[in-house]
Amino acid sequence: MDTGMSGSAILMMLLGVTIIWGGLFISIFYATILSKFKKKFKTEQ
Amino acid sequence: MENRSQWGTRAGFILAAVGSAIGLGNIWRFPYVAYENGGGAFFIPYLFALLTAGIPILIMEFTIGHKYRGSAPLSFFRLNGKKTEFLGWWGIFVSFVISTYYAVIIAWAMKYTVYSFGLSWGKDPEAFFFGDVLNLADNPGEVGGLVGGVALPLLLVWVICYIILLGGVKKGIELANRIFIPVLFLLFLFVVIRAITLDGAMVGLDAFFKPDVDKLLNPRVWVAAYGHIFFSLSIAFAIMITYSSYLPKKSDITNNAFITGFANSSVELLAGIGVFAVLGFMATNQGVDVADVATAGVGLAFVVFPEIINQMPGLNGLFGAFFFLSLTLAGITSLISICETYIAGMSDKFNISRRRSVTIGIGLSAVISLLYATNGGLYFLDVADYFINQFGIAVIGLVEVILLAWVFRKLGLFEQHANAVSDIRLGWWWKVSLSFITPLVLGTMLFFLIKDNIAENYEGYPTSFLWTIGWPVAIGAFVMSIVFTSLKWKDNTRITSDYDENKGGL
């Protein structure tokens, strides 16, 4: 499939998107779910 | 005793911090900076800068605000007395200058939102912007008269800002960001989706993402990455300290900084995709190279975008309105954070009510901003923006990290505080970033900056003009910070209220 973009450009786009949007997703996931789970686990211990 | 205001929720604080960070620069500066400095390869220094300067400084400023629970001058006063109080005022005066011209750009964007529906700029958007809208004077330094078409929307911007800030932290700033940020995201998403469905969009994206790896060997590319991260994240000009001072005592500082940093970069990346997709469309349409149409700043937003909107096959008006409304909302959420710095600072130092502080602060900024609504306004704006950003924020950032990391050695104290309230623990990475990497890169940046300004005047402006507006605003911000630091705190109880020195706000 011809996307009109070179392979290196697609690679850099995927890299940027994965790290930046992935970083945001992980930070929010950590704040909303993981930290609560961690606290609950500590309390139960 | 008046209790310090607080954010209603954690999401409210994050949206306000993200709203402050996401401004006009994300949309019109980042795409071009990335393109000029290696395209896709720029993401390597950019991410490095985000993780070794942007987020570490955000964590430091969130910690200062949260630990010392005051406006920037009050927080710095509690930190080390008058020896550091000036840092807070310095940031505040830089913010004050920025607020005066930032409001004018929002006023243009607001006007263009309405213009979009009828494509009022006609076939020559350049002539329309500089002639019909700005009625621009022939030479820099000429003030001319007030341009009514700019002054009226400018007044509206200040009225909106006044109403939001008068509402206070929770019912004003937080509520506005809770509405504006999701709306901004949806509008901009529409703009980007429409952009990437245009013919030639992929040509633009290829130009934007194609890595020029050789550029990574150029130190100026790394300095550009650090410079952009620095200006983009609203750090070193008192905003983040002020905002985090309204956080409840139990708040996760470190993760909030990561969310704010990554959210800001996510929007920048989205902006890069949207802007270069439409530039690719324009280049394909005109049969030229993307390099021939790529630009940034005022020219991109108010000249190139209207040209592109004219050429679009459908949904022109709606696309234009959504784009300029996105600029307006991004600008307003940043402007209120900029104004909040001096409103909080004045209120703390002179023990005056919020209402009075908002009225004086916004009133004064609004009057000064009229200078940029004159015939010669664009020249004044361009030079003030360059000097206050380059010689204001960058110097404050350098002085701030050197004083806190090396002279007063406060990083250990901040680390202890941040770790006590946060889930993610700070370690050697944070200290190394602030003690070595940030001062080194900011120092290099200033070296290049001074070298470039000695070699030639910014944009070829006459030296006399640069000494009329450029240098005075940059030097004036520092001088005023010393003057305000020398003034006595009106009510000493403000210095100790809501803060326990031994517990450090905990």
B132 touches chain A (CB under 8 A): no
Residues from chain B contacting residue A23 (CB–CB below 8 Å): 258, 262, 265
Percent of chain B at pLDDT exceeding 70:
97
Which DSSP letter does residue B140 get? T
Residue-wise pLDDT for B277-333, tens only, equals 999 999 999 999 999 999 899 999 999 999 999 999 888 999 999 999 999 999 999
Interface test with A, best of B262, B267, B425 (most A CBs within 10 A): B262
**Is the pLDDT reported for residue B505 higher than 50?**
no
State the pLDDT at residue B501: 56
Residue-wise pLDDT for B11-68, tens only, equals 999 999 999 999 999 999 999 999 999 999 999 999 999 999 999 999 999 999 999 9
ipTM metric: 0.88
Residue B236, C-beta contacts closer than 8 angstroms, at least 6 positions apart: B57, B61, B91, B230, B393, B394, B396, B397, B400
Which DSSP letter does residue B40 get? G
Residues from chain B contacting residue A13 (CB–CB below 8 Å): 40, 205, 209
**Is the pLDDT reported for residue B237 higher than 90?**
no
Residue-wise pLDDT for B179-220, tens only, equals 999 999 999 999 999 999 999 999 999 999 999 999 999 999
State the pLDDT at residue A36: 73
For the whole model, what pTM was predicted?
A: 0.94
State the pLDDT at residue B503: 52
pLDDT band for position B502 (50/70/90)? low
* Alpha-carbon gap: A45 to the closest alpha carbon of chain B (Å): 17
Task: Provide the mean pLDDT of chain B.
Answer: 93
**Is the pLDDT reported for residue B497 higher than 70?**
no
Cβ-contact B271, B31 below 8 angstroms: yes
Residues from chain A contacting residue B202 (CB–CB below 8 Å): 3-5
Residue-wise pLDDT for B324-367, tens only, equals 999 999 999 999 999 999 999 999 999 999 999 999 999 999 99
Q: Which of B24-33, B150-159, B234-243, B288-297 has the highest mean pLDDT?
A: B150-159
State the pLDDT at residue B490: 85
Judged by DSSP in three states, B146 sits in strand
Residue-wise pLDDT for A9-42, tens only, equals 999 999 999 999 999 999 999 888 877 777 776 6
Residue-wise pLDDT for B61-100, tens only, equals 999 999 999 999 999 999 999 999 999 999 999 999 999 9
**Is the pLDDT reported for residue B445 higher than 50?**
yes
**Inter-chain touch B202–A4, beta carbons under 8 Å:** yes
With CA atoms as reference, the chain A residue closest to B202 would be A4
Residue B189's Cβ-count burial label (10 Å; 0-12, 13-18, 19+) is middle
Question: ∠ at Cα B101 (B282, B6), nearest 5°?
Answer: 105
**HEC secondary structure over B93-124:** HHHHHHHHHHHHHHHHHHHHHHHHHHCCCCCC
Which residue in B43, B262, B423 is closest to A35 by CB distance?
A: B423
Q: Extract the tokens encoding A42.
A: 């500590």
Give residue B117's identity as a one-letter amino acid code: F
**Inter-chain touch A11–B40, beta carbons under 8 Å:** yes
Q: Extract the tokens encoding B65.
A: 């605000």
Q: Extract the tokens encoding B249.
A: 């005592």
pLDDT band for position B498 (50/70/90)? low
Residues from chain B contacting residue A24 (CB–CB below 8 Å): 259, 262-263, 265-266
- Rounded to an integer, what distance in angstroms lies between the CA atom of residue B31 and that of residue B22? 14
> Which residue matches tokens 């901003």?
B369
**Is the pLDDT reported for residue B458 higher than 90?**
yes
